[in-house]
Amino acid sequence: MMKFRLFTISILAILACATAVAQNSDQRHITPVRPSTNTTLRPAKGTKEEVVQDYLKGDTTAARDRLRKDSLKRVYPRYPLLTDVTVGVNLLDPVLKIFGQKYCSFDVSATLNMWNRLQPVLELGVGYAHETPDDMNFTYKGKLSPYVRLGANYNMMFKSDPRYQVGLGFRLGYSTFKYDVTNITQRSDYWGEHYTYDIKGESSHALWGEFLAGLRVNLWRNISAGWQVKYQGIFNYKKNANTRPWYVPGFGPRDRKWAFTFSVYYTIPLSLDKWPKKESKDKGTAGAGGTTPGGTVIGAAK
């Protein structure tokens, strides 16, 4: 009986040893240990340290989420609340005045750019006129008078560089002014004669609105130029007993519906350190030592 037990134990020990040797042999065959590959591969240079640490800890979900947010920032840059302030000068009317236009408005503007999207605008200026309208029997002299326009633009290119913009906007304008109507010529059918007279010292005010579309491009450093086309209409104006204003400072001739401006601007950046940083061309692209669009780190730094 004793001999049988010893024999059984010997057989079991031999089988256990054989099994261990076979498992060890299979393991070495599948994953041989090579000193050259027994190192930790690090992500490409330029990858954020938070992403690197997440990968080294094995938290690939968090790492991919960080990379996704970073890639969205590159595609859709988020500008700060106060992006920049721009001052501008309208030059079109003064230039047209040189070429013979009989009325002129001169204004300056201040624009606050918020998130590179919404842009409140304040425009202040003065205007005057000295014109004898075609087919009219009078000369209109609008005295130099102030006006103000208040409104906002919406930058359609808010994902791009703030120096280049395509915008839609509106303005609400108001002016109070004085004018003279002189050389009024009338014909008397009874006497068959012509006579002239003047009406001076008339005063009025006007409220109007404008819808506009504009384009602005960078010229050099912080200097840019822009064009605007406006569709406008007067909401209300003061009518006098004998006259009506032919010209409204800041609006133009009373019956005009379309207007154009050309302005030169100077931009003062705000919170420049918070603006999206320009990425290098090889950063964040797939390839040796880069990242895939899905956020997986590949390659190794040597």
Across the range 65-70, mean pLDDT stands at 65
How many CB atoms sit inside 10 A of residue 119's CB? 23
Tens-digit pLDDT profile for residues 224-241: 999 999 999 999 999 999
Tens-digit pLDDT profile for residues 25-50: 544 444 454 555 445 555 566 566 66
- Percentage of the chain exceeding pLDDT 70: 65
H or E segment to which residue 289 belongs: none
How many Å apart are CA 119 and CA 103, to the nearest integer?
A: 29
Across the range 157-166, mean pLDDT stands at 91
Q: What is the mean pLDDT of the chain?
A: 80
pLDDT of 62 above 50 = yes
pTM over 0.75, yes/no: no
Categorize the per-residue pLDDT at 271 as very low, low, confident or very high, splitting at 50, 70 and 90: confident
**Residue from 175, 182, 180, 185 nearest 202 by CA:** 180
Residues whose CB is less than 8 angstroms from the CB of residue 234 and which lie 6 or more positions away in sequence, other chains included = 206, 207, 208, 248, 251, 254
Q: Are residues 181 and 156 in contact, defined by beta-carbon separation less than 8 angstroms?
A: no
Q: Are residues 251 and 175 in contact, defined by beta-carbon separation less than 8 angstroms?
A: yes
Q: Are residues 257 and 75 in contact, defined by beta-carbon separation less than 8 angstroms?
A: no
Query: According to the model, what pLDDT value does residue 45 have?
Result: 60
pLDDT of 270 above 70 = yes
Dihedral pair phi/psi, residue 136, rounded to 5°: -115, 160
Tens-digit pLDDT profile for residues 116-159: 999 999 999 999 999 998 878 899 999 999 999 999 999 999 98
